[in-house]
Structure 1
Amino acid sequence: MGVAHDVVVVGSVNADLVVRVARHPRPGETLLGSTSDTLPGGKGANQAVAAARQGARVALVGAVGTDPQAAVALSALRAADVDLTHVRRVDGATGLAVVTVAGSGENTIVVVPGANATLTPARVDEARGTIARAAVCVLQLEIPLDTVAHAARLAHRHGTRVLLNAAPATALPRDVLRLADPLVVNEHEAATLLGRALDSPAAAAAHELTGLGVRSVVVTLGAAGLVGHGPDGAFSWSAPVVQPVDTTGAGDAFVGALAAGLAAGQPLRAASAHATRVAAYSVTRLGAQPSYPGPADPLP
């Protein structure tokens, strides 16, 4: 029947409460913030919007609550023309992320799952046809882990490429990791999957993860860029030098742009290079989804 969507994302949908402060508070300390905003977020929704703004046809499988925050959480997805057929409204609260952004642009984030906890394997089965007819299925770990595993296995069984972003850092069954092509992690997440602190360069960690049977791995390094390893060997890219305003959602910008590139047939190296520039653009603006570039925006 052909590919109906370039990318299908199975993941979280949140509202982000973003508070700007001069610096992050120490334990037990109270600080005055300068501004606060409620913006659309959630790793799944972020990645869906990022991919759609790069020109991909995107569908999202997720859940929001019946509270007023649901409208905020869905606003950018609708604006980006993401297919929300499989986003359900459930009784209760929409997922919430409390984000504190310091003057340096670095952030701290606390996530309350809310409706995201209702995204079960049965809900994934309802979207089986959409997943089976997509080029790439994107997964992350702000939803129940059994749902992530089920979606990865379903996508792989139907020949849909699995892009697994193992974030937030959580241990995963090895058979699920082996379905990823690529597995995308930062250094902390790589250490969690390997079960030890990284005492060697990130490139070695990427190689070690492929040694577990993962077909391809990308380890993101923030301002330092990334390293990767796949069937064609190792590669690396430096990140463009930019003045950061807010790093919230930069990793999701990378994953979404990477998924769009892979769905368009780009090799992993080339798609990673472009996604690095998309992520760099995103940190120069406030918020996650509002900071993602479209095809006409000049990238650093």
Structure 2
Amino acid sequence: MGREPIITVIGSINMDLVVSVDRKPNRGETVKGESFDTLPGGKGANQAIALARLGATVNMVGMVGDDAFGYELKSNLEKENVQVEAVGVTEGISTGVAVITIAENDNSIAVVSGANEKVTPAYIREYEKIIKQSDIVLTQFEVPISTVEEAAMICEKHGIPIVLNPAPFEKLSDSLLDKVTYLTPNQHEYELIKGYKRYFENDYQSKLIITKGEVGAVFFENEKPQIVSAFTVQPIDTTGAGDTFNSAFTYMMTKTNNIEEACRFSNAAAALSVLKKGAQLGMPTKEEVNSFLSEQQSE
């Protein structure tokens, strides 16, 4: 089987403030909440933990504030076997938070970046050695886009593949798109991307992996979309499903050149992730994903 991959995640570290309600409030309306939880989150941290659960050696590059949330989140990453050498603590700025409302088996999220804005190009250059020793890099847009562009330049310099999860959506420059190995928008982000002609040239279509929730995932082969169907489960909390998919896909692309196989594994991981509350609690191990896939094949 060979060694497990070394994967670097560059991205956000947040505390999720989660409110569960029976239904989403209308504009100007107050509704009574059912429960409240404080849970570790942030797309970067979520993806790092999902990768560690799958067995990868994971380096996290990010920032937290000099506050209770920050120290708790850094400790949580360590507990999950994520390397935190490159997780800085910045004074005078709060740790990032996400306010998540769960209703009707779906979620809506408002994010305050806080210390994540301090993950600058200069900051990640300090950790170029970590990046160049990686088998692959995963990043998103909850840190400044200039930082993502710098990460892509470092990866190109050292011949390291990079997966970009373009969430929350930002317009991608041609330069960044040229350097990205795989681009993983969800359906909403893909609709925004469709406004850019270059995304539909064949060379760029081949980089697209589109996540479509209950439908599954779509990639392009010879300019034709290929659907990898999702697995049917009864979700408890969909928060973190996209992060789990991205992590599983990144992990599997170090193991195989078969995108369809990687998407199937990632769909299974995402399905398992929604069976528990919170972005990180349900993220599965590699053994759990493989067991789930075996069960699906035997049915």
Alpha carbon RMSD of aligned pairs, Å?
2.1
Instruction: Decide whether aligned partners of structure 1 residues 214 and 119 sit closer, same or farther in structure 2, where only a CA change above 3 A counts.
Output: farther
1:95 alignment counterpart: 96
- Find out whether 1:299 has 2:267 as its counterpart: no
- Matches for 1:143-292 after TM superposition, within 5 Å: 143-195=143-195, 208-209=199-200, 211=202, 213=204, 215-229=206-220, 234-292=225-283
| Structure 2 residue matching 1:185: 3-state secondary structure | coil
Q: Which residue of 1 aligns with 2:124?
A: 124
Distance in 2, matches of 1:75 and 1:292, equals 18
Q: Which residue type is aligned with residue 167 of structure 2?
A: A
Partner of 1:175: helix, strand, or coil?
Answer: helix
Describe the shift of the 1:32–1:172 C-alpha distance in structure 2 as closer, same or farther (beyond 3 A): same
Deviation string 1:181-229 (CA, Å, 9 cap, x unpaired) is 2110012111222327xxxxxxxx9x95453636421000001101102
Q: Which amino acid aligns with 1:156?
A: E
Query: For residue 296 of structure 2, what is the aligned residue in structure 1?
Result: none
Distance 1:130 1:6, change over 3 A: same
Partner letter of residue 256 of structure 1?
S
State the TM-score, normalizing by the size of structure 2.
0.90
Match of 2:32 in 1: 32
Alpha-carbon deviation of 1:75? Answer: 4.2
> Residues 209 and 217 of structure 1 are in contact (CA less than 8 Å); yes or no, is this contact kept in structure 2?
no
Q: Which amino acid aligns with 2:292?
A: L
Partner amino acid, structure 2, of 1:299: F
The amino acid that maps onto 1:106 is D
| SS of aligned partner of 1:289 | coil
Q: CA deviation at 1:12?
A: 0.4
Which amino acid is the alignment partner of residue 187 of structure 2?
A: E
Instruction: Using the aligned pairs only, state the percent identity.
Output: 37
Say how many residue pairs are matched.
Answer: 288
Superimposed CA distance per residue, residues 125-171 of structure 1 (whole angstroms, 9 cap, x where no aligned partner): 01101111101111100000101111111112211101011111221
SS at match of 1:40: strand
Task: Establish whether residue 13 from structure 1 lines up as the match of residue 13 from structure 2.
Answer: yes
Q: CA distance change for structure 1 residues 33 and 20 in 2, over 3 Å: closer, same or farther? A: same
Using a 3 Å threshold, how does the CA distance of structure 1 residues 267 and 6 change in structure 2: closer, same or farther?
Answer: farther
Q: Using the alignment, how far apart are the partners of 1:85 and 1:276 within structure 2? A: 31
- Structure 2: which 5+ residue stretches go unaligned? 294-299
Q: CA 1:150–1:208 in 2, change beyond 3 Å: closer, same or farther?
A: closer
Q: Using a 3 Å threshold, how does the CA distance of structure 1 residues 135 and 232 change in structure 2: closer, same or farther?
A: farther
Question: What's the offset of the Cα at 1:267?
Answer: 2.5
In 1, Cα distance between the equivalents of 2:62 and 2:200? 29
TM-score by length of 1: 0.90
Secondary structure at 2:33's aligned position in 1?
A: coil
Deviation at 1:262, TM superposition (A): 1.3
